Structure 1
Amino acid sequence: MPPPTPAPRSTGPALELLVHGVGGTTPQDMLVDPSTVRVTGDATAAIYRRSIDVDAEQHPERYREKPVAEAYCWSNLTSGNGSRALWLLLLPFMVINLAHWMRPIARRRPRAIRLYGLLVRLVALSLTVLLTAAACEVALDLTAWQCAGVPVCSGRRSWLGFLSAEQGGWWSQPGRRLALAAVVPAALVGLLWFLSNRTWSAYESQRPLTGAADADDEDEPGEAPAPDPVRPALGRPGFWYGRRLVARLRAAHT
């Protein structure tokens, strides 16, 4: 039986995180204080504190008997135009990303940690290849090669008329049909790059409030976490600040 995991250590004041429901509310109502200050985040989602609690980390002696209340306001995350539905394309990749952070604790086993990280990255890469191959199958094989090359199939679909081999147009040549259909998987990869770039610039590039300049390099997926101090995954800088790491992963996938 493995030894129990030691409790996380903290030298600062305790925090009490308040999160509103789907109805949304203001940070002033959540903190029951008309004077609040945004400590991190942006206009879409942010964390607020009371004005008197902004410098709580510099005066921990004031909060030995009570936690510092913080309000997380996320109501704007669910508002926007219909293009926000395109984020669903990144949902499978988000699940793969969570697989890394759900890795069981394996202290003093760096090889196992590196192997786990390698397998997760291979699964993520195979997911990218699978998505691109599916787009190629539909656009190049089923549509441009098979359907456009058979008069019975292309005749039933007027939008394929200019690709039909029976009409003998400029685009009816097999090579030209395939070249035109290749725009579909290329556009899909471009869309994934655009969405991931927006996510990277809006969230992963936001430097934490505290931490070193290279905090994103502290928790590389292939490296074992530092044994001292013991911190939960949510408290590690690399969980929130992945500017360099996510940029490399984006380049590998797109």
Structure 2
Amino acid sequence: MMSEAAYPQRVIRLTGRQTATSIDGPPVLLTWQASVIPPLIVVLLVLFGWLAHRAWQLARAEREAVARDYPDEAQDRARTRRIAYARAMAALTDRGPRVVAVTSGVTLLLGAGALVGALTTDETPGEAAQGAYPVVHGAAETAQALGSWLIGLGFLLFVTWGRRAYKDAAARRTIGILWDVGTFWPRAAHPFAPPCYAERAVPDLTWRIATWTRATGGRLVISGHSQGSVLAAAAAWQLAPSARRRVALLTYGSPLERLYGRWFPAHFGPAALGSLHREVDCWRNLYRLTDPIGGPVRLPGDRDLGVDHVPLTDPLAYGRTDLHPLPAPILGHSDYQADPAFAEERRKLLARLRPDLPTPRGEPEPEPPAA
């Protein structure tokens, strides 16, 4: 076991209270695991530095693209820089798998090294390195002490982030997105989380769609944003083929391919999404280059299928116009309905469905498609 000199009793020193008996330090395995936290943080800092450099490169490249997207506008360097930066930050989502792979691999290697070190010696990392060079011994003790403090700091950050979610709308939105994605999957994937809401939401949505189409014999456009597009796709998969042929999908800001297709290819890969497109009557997907979550569906042969719309313009106007007397905001992942393309694509979907079938109440009758 470790000596008191190797692991100082920090609680006693901080509170100033002395006891007649000494308190043993933490288990050797815990000390070894704490000592690998600083190297892991160094790796994370290197990854974040690489992401920052990559974002800077992308932002520089996007400035020329922004100028091409608004050719008739007098260029404002600050405005162009903000739009290019928003596009570059949104593109970093595609680097997520690489970051997760490197972090997971390094964590596995460091954790295995800590386990081997704890099983082969009864000493802490600092004591195990006493016979080595002074630099190695000092680095081991520093990693051990720093790691033990970082464990406590991590707990405080976890509590602080939870408190912040009650006061900060942005933090609450981020936690809500992670919560939605996590609790979408069955309970076996997250046994310590609340029950899967998809087990209630998807059957209910499927029942509503099937009931309405059966009772009216009509057609229906299922519109889904972000996580709602995943629910819409899951509900369409559960429909009977006769009802599915009366349904059109309109997805926007959708993570179906960008996130779900990459992380869960067996359920949302190209084959699954391609079969969904063949089974519904028609499908249209909207996305923006400034959206860090939504993206194209990228079905095989999509040039002929026409599922993905060209990237929507964001912001809608570069400078001040009659419709936008104030500078138009960069919307990113939100407010797709504000884009005129949304209403236009919905109208086209209704027109592509069987024109002899009634529309839902409140929907205008679509014009017949041009010959």
Indicate the TM-score class for this superposition, using the shorter chain for normalisation. under 0.3
TM-score, normalisation: structure 1: 0.27
Instruction: Compare the two structures and name the one with the higher strand fraction.
Output: 1
